[in-house]
Every structure is written in structure tokens, then in C-alpha cells.
Amino acid sequence: MEIIDLHGQKEFSSTHHIHKTLTSTPHSEISVVGWEPGQKSPIHCHPTADEIYHVLEGEGLFNDGKRELTLKPGDTVLFAAGEVHTVAALTRMVLYRVQAGPDRHAKALPAWPA
């Protein structure tokens, strides 16, 4: 059993969002992500990994290219493997992120798929 201090790992930067890995296995990773208002991820996907975000603090826009939703504390979103998406912080935001899959690296895209 592994106990993780989630709130003790929160970190922020004025220039980019900060991923702090809390624990990982060969097939999954759990992290806490700190975002400042206005920070946005590029359009991207994780071809072989699901990505789940749970909003702990703040508000953000979560976009899958078809719709954009504002999520608040207590909300959870799942982007299935290969699903293109972006995340943008409206306020200072803290996310609990779980990625599950053999290769969790992001693949950036120049624009939304047609």
C-alpha cells in the first residue's frame, strides 16, 4: 500500500501548468496538476492511454473539439485513448489526473481534426 499526500504536492508556475507525478506503474500514472488562470494545453491526444481529470480546485474549460464545458470542483471528465482535447484554466485550478495505458505520452496536433 502506498499513501500519497495529494495537497502537499500542489505546485504552480506563472509560465506553464505543472504536472507532479504522485505514483506510477507500467500501465498507469497519477498526478496532481496546478494551473494558473489563462494557461492552456495544446490540442493533443494520448494515442494509447485514457486520461481522467477530476477538478479539486478552481474552474476550467475542457474541450474535445465537439463541445467545450466548464468544470468545477467535484467534476470529472474522461478522455478515452486517442480522443483529441484541450484544457484551459479559467481560475487557479488544481486537477487530479489519472492516465491509464501502456504509452501515456501526448501527441500534439497543429489543429482540430476535420
Q: What is the pLDDT of residues 3-41, one digit of tens each?
A: 888 788 899 999 999 999 999 999 999 999 999 999 999
Identify the pLDDT of residue 6: 79
Q: What is the DSSP string of 54-113?
A: EEEES-EEEE-SS-EEEE-TT-EEEE-TT--BEEEESSSEEEEEEEESS----EE-SS--
Residue range 8-107 in CATH 3.40.50.880: no
**pLDDT of res. 1:** 85
Q: Give residue-wise pLDDT tens across range 60-81.
A: 999 999 999 999 999 999 999 9
Residue 8's pLDDT is 84
Domain ranges within the chain, ordered by starting residue: 8-107
Cα atoms in the Cβ-side hemisphere of radius 13 Å centred on 8: 4
Cell of 5: 499526500
DSSP state of 16: S
Nearest to 102 by CA among 64, 46, 52, 53: 46
